Amino acid sequence: MRALLDLESDDHYHLYASTRLGRLGPRIDETIRRHSRAVVSERLFPARLLKLLAAIPGVGVETLLGEVDVFHHTDLMYLPVKRSPQVVTVHDLAFEVDRGFHGRGFAESARRRLKSVLSRAAAVVVPSRATRSDLITRYGVPAEQVVVIPHGVDHVARHVSSRSAAAENVIPESPFALFIGTVEPRKNLVRLLKAFAIAAGKDAELSLLIAGRRGWETGPFLRELRQHRWRARIGWREDAADEELVALCCASRFLVYPSLYEGFGLPVGEAMWLGTPVITSSRSSLPEIAGDAALLVDPEDVEDLAGAMLKLNGDEGLRRRLSELGRAQSSQFTWRRSAEMTAAVYRRVAARERVSNPLS
């Protein structure tokens, strides 16, 4: 939204949040709240209640917001829109790939809601060609309707200037590999710990730092961590602030991100933008985001992952080369570019024109 508002345009944006918990407060940037082309509506009106009221003929989002030229659904909470043309973002289809990635019953509910909104959408936005392919294959969405708009990763620049102060308290003394992300099954952390056990047994200096909050189904990870042979060389930061994450990323030997599935993979792009070498999975969108600027591994092959960690930790020349390649690769992922492409979709949908797909 910051990037959309930075564009030279007459477009106005109405940001709507329905919540039973009150104002979103600091979660919405003041530069957005005060912008002349943005309005923020926060209603003590849960989305589920709005969906119930939508059973009444003519009642929908427009009842609360007034008429809009385009309504953009940005996550899985698809609100009832009765008259406005609709755009929907599908970040990923993880719930289709493996039901173990989410809680019980989530896949059925998400599939039902997604099918409904896709039937009404004038355009579908996805962050990668991999997600586009998944959506076309699994849901039969017409190819010309699905537009690839990659995320930006240049937002990390806002925290680079403050990383020096943050580094004093968070940087480990020994060389370390870094993982950034929520602790949940999809991130493949149990196998990462097993791979680190192999690597640590062959490289006495390397440690591992996991930076991420607890997600769901953390039991297997916690058990593996507790019984780990090299537990003293594994750190876990659950509460790192953004500037601390940037400091950690810049100080690490490399980022290791063996996720089993990603719609985009922000930590990979962010690390490359910062010049940090990357090891990541050869699956879903991750090869697309990493290009030739990272070591790709089979995320289910513990030996392959351990070998990549040993190789990168022991080869300074390779780390320098991947750092340079990563900066170049990540330079294409900017929020300005994302905003320009998103605004183009809005204009075409509002004008009832055919939506083009330049990155297909």
- Classified as helix, coil or strand, 219 is helix
Its sign, for the CA torsion 177, 181, 183, 185, is negative
pLDDT at position 359 over 70: no
For residue 165, what pLDDT is reported? 59
Range 2-152+335-350 has CATH code 3.40.50.2000? yes
Maximum distance among all alpha carbons in the chain?
68
Kindly indicate the confidence band of residue 48, based on its pLDDT and cuts at 50, 70 and 90: low
Average pLDDT over residues 178-195: 97
Q: Band of the pLDDT at 81, cuts 50, 70, 90?
A: confident
pLDDT tens readout for residues 244-266:
999 999 999 999 999 999 999 99
pLDDT at 167 over 80: no
Question: In this predicted structure, what is the pLDDT of residue 332?
Answer: 96
Q: Where are the alpha helices (DSSP H) in the chain?
A: 2-6, 30-33, 47-53, 61-65, 94-97, 106-118, 129-139, 157-160, 163-170, 189-202, 219-226, 242-251, 266-273, 286-290, 302-313, 316-330, 335-350
Which residue matches tokens 């099954």? 185
**pLDDT of 133:** 96
- Band (pLDDT 50/70/90 cuts) for residue 34 is very high
Q: Return mean pLDDT, the chain.
A: 90
Res 171 pLDDT > 90: no
Cα 111 from chain centroid (whole Å): 20
Q: Where are the domains of the chain?
A: 2-152+335-350, 154-330
Per-residue pLDDT at 1 exceeds 80:
yes
Task: Give the contacts of 167 (CB within 8 A, at least 6 positions apart).
Answer: 247, 250, 251
CA distances to 154, 203, 263, 285, 291 from 269, in Å: 9, 27, 12, 11, 10
Alpha carbon distance 266, 345 (integer Å): 22
Averaged pLDDT for residues 287-300: 98
Centre a 10 Å sphere on the Cβ of residue 289 and count the other Cβ atoms it contains. 29
Q: Which residues pair with 293 in a beta bridge?
A: none
Residue 160 has pLDDT above 90, yes or no: no
The whole-model pTM stands at: 0.91
* Strands ordered across the beta sheet of 71-73: 71-73, 86-89, 121-126, 146-148
Q: Please give the average per-residue pLDDT across 182-197, as a whole number.
A: 97
Query: Residue 55 pLDDT more than 90?
Result: no
CATH superfamily of domain region 154-330? Glycogen Phosphorylase B; (3.40.50.2000)
Residue 44: pLDDT over 70: no
Question: Average of pLDDT values for 205-217?
Answer: 94
Q: Do domains 2-152+335-350 and 154-330 have the same CATH topology?
A: yes
Summarize the confidence of residues 48-63 as an average pLDDT.
74
Enumerate residues 6+ apart whose C-beta is below 8 A from 42.
17, 19, 22, 23, 24
- Supply the pLDDT for residue 80: 82
Percent of the chain predicted with pLDDT > 70: 90
